[in-house]
């Protein structure tokens, strides 16, 4: 039977009412790393998505890399996430937390003066926005091999806390140049031990983080986001196709909730490789409109389509996609930080019709 964007789908243990996901988007509106009532309102407004993937959420104090991003390592954060989960579930939605350790994409200003950690002592090019303005990205401290299992374990703890907070699962952020992606990359990971060198070694950190989450909450509540070959945050991979081939193969056979490919230009057929080699549900993302999304679902290229910016600016995006209604224009000035403006005040169709 041909599927449509509005048919239900199972991602592991999570059943979605449609195949539209809200892509993870950092919004920098959780002071002290604790989700607020405003955050709960924002996610609740978008609960008609089949699945909400939250903004990147750090599993550990050492993983903070941006202003006012949320965490999942303290009781206060669990209480904050509980409000978010309740707001989404009250409207019949489903929500997983994206677990994001930023690694070298950070600054001592976020880490009580400490150094960011990374596979190797290689700084990312460019600036990081701190509360005092842009500052050059610092040279990170290379993790000692003996420390790595404890960092990986924070992913398992975050998964446990996500379920404790009433969330439906977690997405392990293995993309966009953050810590697991730094391990995967050939320019940020210069290690010669079992965590660097071959693709098997470079993938060990991400696969370990996934395994930690799976051990904590079961495979059917764990998804993984990747984009080998992306140069976002100054990572590089000399053979991204081999990396995705290895990851998609290694992540198969476990009953994971899903594999999620970040949108963007790939130098190889990433979506095709992921579809062919990964045996679970696949989420595709990046610049989708209704027609392309319907075509990729009907054609079996993906099981779910994730929308980022369109969902940020349209709390009722599924209704608009179904009815072919025009979309609100996003306001990039309010993407990263601020208050309710540009966050919870985008109009829905009902309001727009008044
Ligand atoms: C404001 C903003 C914040 C983002 N934060 C994250 C993030 O925390 N984690 C992540 O994996 N991707 C993040 N992304 C990327 C989006 O998930 C998505 O891949 C991108 O917006 C492309 O999809 P789209 O064309 O549907 O917007 C962010 C994008 C935007 C616009």
| 354 residues of the chain, pLDDT tens digit each | 678 999 999 999 999 999 999 999 999 999 999 999 999 999 999 999 999 999 999 999 999 999 999 999 999 999 999 999 999 999 999 999 999 999 999 999 999 999 999 999 999 999 999 999 999 999 999 999 999 999 999 999 999 999 999 999 999 999 999 999 999 999 999 999 999 999 999 999 999 999 999 999 999 999 999 999 999 999 999 999 999 999 999 999 999 999 999 999 999 999 999 999 999 999 999 999 999 999 999 999 999 999 999 999 999 999 999 999 999 999 999 999 999 999 999 999 976 654
Query: Which residues line the pocket of ligand 1, CB cutoff 6 A?
Result: 23-26, 55-56, 98, 100, 173, 175-176, 225, 262-263, 285-288, 307-310, 335
What is the spatial distance between Cα 307 and Cα 286, in angstroms, rounded to a whole number? 7
24 Cα: distance to centroid of ligand 1 (angstroms): 6
147 Cα: distance to centroid of ligand 1 (angstroms): 30
145 Cα: distance to centroid of ligand 1 (angstroms): 31
What is the spatial distance between Cα 53 and Cα 343, in angstroms, rounded to a whole number? 16
CB contact set of 128 (below 8 Å; sequence gap of 6+): 65, 66, 105, 106, 107, 134, 135, 136, 137
User: Which residue ranges make up each domain of the chain?
Assistant: 9-353
Pairing of strands 258-261, 222-226: parallel
- Annotation says 178 is catalytic: yes
Question: Which CATH superfamily does the domain covering 9-353 fall into?
Answer: Aldolase class I (3.20.20.70)
Distance (Å) of CA 188 to CA 173, 194, 202, 243, 353: 17, 15, 10, 15, 51
User: Does residue 335 contact residue 342 with C-beta atoms inside 8 Å?
Assistant: yes
Of 5, 21, 22, 23, best ligand 1 pocket probe by most atoms within 8 Å of the beta carbon:
23
Query: By alpha-carbon position, which residue is closest to atom 22 of ligand 1?
Result: 286
């Amino acid at each position: 039977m041909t599927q449509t964007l509005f048919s239900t789908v199972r991602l592991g243990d999570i059943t979605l009412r449609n195949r539209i996901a809200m892509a993870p988007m950092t919004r920098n509106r959780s002071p002290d790393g604790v989700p607020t009532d405003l955050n709960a309102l924002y996610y609740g407004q978008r609960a008609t998505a089949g699945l909400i993937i939250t903004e990147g959420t750090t599993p550990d104090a050492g993983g903070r890399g941006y202003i006012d991003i949320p965490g999942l390592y303290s009781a206060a954060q669990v209480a904050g996430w509980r409000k978010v989960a309740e707001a989404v579930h009250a409207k019949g939605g489903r929500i997983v937390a994206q677990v994001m350790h930023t690694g070298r994409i950070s600054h001592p200003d976020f880490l009580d003066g400490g150094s960011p950690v990374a596979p190797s002592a290689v700084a990312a090019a460019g600036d990081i926005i701190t509360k005092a303005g842009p500052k050059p990205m610092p040279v990170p401290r290379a993790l000692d091999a003996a420390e790595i299992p404890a960092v990986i374990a924070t992913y398992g703890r975050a998964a446990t806390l996500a379920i404790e907070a009433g969330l439906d699962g977690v997405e392990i952020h293995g993309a966009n140049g953050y810590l697991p992606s730094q391990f995967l990359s050939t320019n940020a990971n210069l290690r010669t031990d079992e965590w660097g060198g071959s693709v098997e070694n470079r993938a060990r950190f991400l696969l370990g983080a996934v395994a930690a989450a799976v051990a904590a909450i079961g495979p059917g509540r764990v998804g993984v986001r990747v984009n080998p070959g992306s140069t976002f945050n100054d990572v590089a991979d000399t053979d991204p196709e081999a990396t995705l081939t290895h990851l998609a193969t290694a992540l198969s056979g476990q009953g994971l909730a899903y594999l999620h490919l970040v949108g963007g230009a790939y130098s190889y057929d990433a979506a095709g490789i992921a579809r062919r080699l990964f045996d679970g549900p696949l989420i595709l993302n990046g610049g989708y409109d209704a027609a392309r999304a319907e075509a990729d679902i009907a054609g079996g290229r993906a099981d779910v389509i994730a929308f980022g910016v369109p969902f940020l600016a349209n709390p009722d995006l599924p209704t608009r996609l179904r009815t072919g209604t025009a979309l609100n224009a996003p306001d990039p000035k309010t993407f990263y930080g601020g208050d309710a403006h540009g966050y919870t005040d985008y109009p829905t169709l009902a309001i727009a019709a008044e």
